[in-house]
A and B are shown apart, each in its own frame.
Chain A
Amino acid sequence: MSFTCPICLDDDRTNIESIGTLQPCNHKFHRDCLRRWHLYAHDLVCPICRVESDILLVRLSDDQSMAPIRVDLKKGFDAKRVMEYEQQEEEFLRRFNDALRIGSRQERLVLTQCNICGGSEAQLDKACHSCGTLFHESCLRSLACEVGDPSSWQQCVECRDPVNQFRRSHAGHGSGSSNRRLQMPDEMTRLREVKTKIQEHVRRVLKEFYQDIDRDNPRIKIDKKHFTDINKQVSRKLYRISNYRYLRGIIDYDLEAQKEVRLELRKLGYIDV
């Protein structure tokens, strides 16, 4: 099959899964190139004909009898939403949980990120069908090792249900997911609470570095950008270590946060920490 992506002009990545067809205009691009463009352009307009698109079709195999997956661009890849998502923790949560939607007749797949590393590159190969969360298998495995329970990698980080193979094997699946989804608000509130609690620790530690508490003997000054970056990095790390639970008696969050903050600071080139 020969295909040249109009965006990167590359013709050697001919893997059928990498190609997406915009609807309604039927123009084809590499999925990644197109998504980068949507993010860049803040709209969902086709680069070739400028028709606003709502659906991206992705084929998983050359077999024409198999229906392509319909990616709802407006839901899953509203470029603006992705931008906000970078900044808003709440949005962050919602998108994870929106990751996989199973409609009544046709599966609706929404492109999104791995719940653990946040990356959307490489293939998201595991999904939890109960709460609709996507993962990289590699991330699940390394997380399980990190928390000292390697055998737990097959559990969803959010709801502990077993994760399934993503993409190919979920055809025919769909029953039983709707009532599960009703429970999601509670789950989300719980997660948000966990995140807030953990972030409090991180902020407290970071503030000591950020503000001159003792004017005569100032500690190093961090600029604001670094403050937020480190806050994000460290908090995410802590969510992961504690498996998205707030485990106060088991984990000394202040100590862990201090360690991680120091590490991040050194990475950014601050000395004397």
Chain B
Amino acid sequence: MSRAAKEYKTITKVLKEGDEVYSQLIVGMEPKEDLTRWEALIRGPSGTPYEGCNFRLHLSLPQEYPMSPPYVKFEPYAMPHANVDFRTGEICLDILTKQHWSPAWDLLHVVQAIGQLLDEPVSSSPLNVDIANILKANDMNAYYGLVHYYIKS
């Protein structure tokens, strides 16, 4: 059985039975068409401006997976975040790069890391400069306001 099939089995099991770590974050996660394309719906973590909203993630597995990291993106024009390109949904996260990826990680780890990124944006490597600047200035009102403005529109 392929690695993707094994992961499918684990993910279905985890989501069905509920898991302390993952059920907080993941609303749903399933493959599209074949096991190389996945979609996940994640909950905005509490205590962040994303709370109360769900966000869609697109994951796709390269042929060399798990030797190469999966490609992960948010839906375009849906995620205002310092480390996400708003137009494309592209995510800047070190574990998704070839240099930092490890084949011992799986898709659940990846989604979890993205959940953590929502919680702790890294303003030093921004893909969304507006939000990063506000964060650097530590202006929480403006941060919440801007993120909400984008999410609502």
User: B3 contacts A50, CB within 8 Å?
Assistant: no
User: B1 contacts A47, CB within 8 Å?
Assistant: no
Main secondary structure of the interface of A (DSSP, over half): loop
Residue on B nearest A4 in the bound complex, by CB = B6
80-134 of chain B: CB within 8 A of chain A: 102-104, 106
Residues of B contacting A7 in the complex (Cβ-Cβ under 8 angstroms): 3, 66, 103-104
Complex Cα–Cα for A9 and B1 (A):
9
42-86 of chain B: CB within 8 A of chain A: 64, 66-68
Complex Cα–Cα for A6 and B103 (A):
8
| Interface residue B19 (Cβ < 8 Å from any Cβ of A) | no
User: B103 contacts A33, CB within 8 Å?
Assistant: yes
Chain B nearest Cβ from A56, distance in angstroms: 16
User: B6 contacts A9, CB within 8 Å?
Assistant: yes
Residues of A contacting B3 in the complex (Cβ-Cβ under 8 angstroms): 7-10
1-48 of chain B: CB within 8 A of chain A: 1, 3, 6-7
Residue on A nearest B99 in the bound complex, by CB = A41
37-68 of chain A: CB within 8 A of chain B: 37, 40, 47-48, 50
| Interface residue A170 (Cβ < 8 Å from any Cβ of B) | no
Chain A residues packing against B (C-beta within 8 Å): 6-10, 33, 36-37, 40, 47-48, 50
**Sample (20) of A-B pairs whose CB atoms are under 8 Å apart:** A6-B103, A6-B104, A7-B3, A7-B66, A7-B103, A7-B104, A8-B3, A8-B6, A9-B3, A9-B6, A9-B7, A9-B106, A33-B103, A37-B67, A40-B64, A40-B67, A47-B102, A47-B103, A48-B104, A50-B102
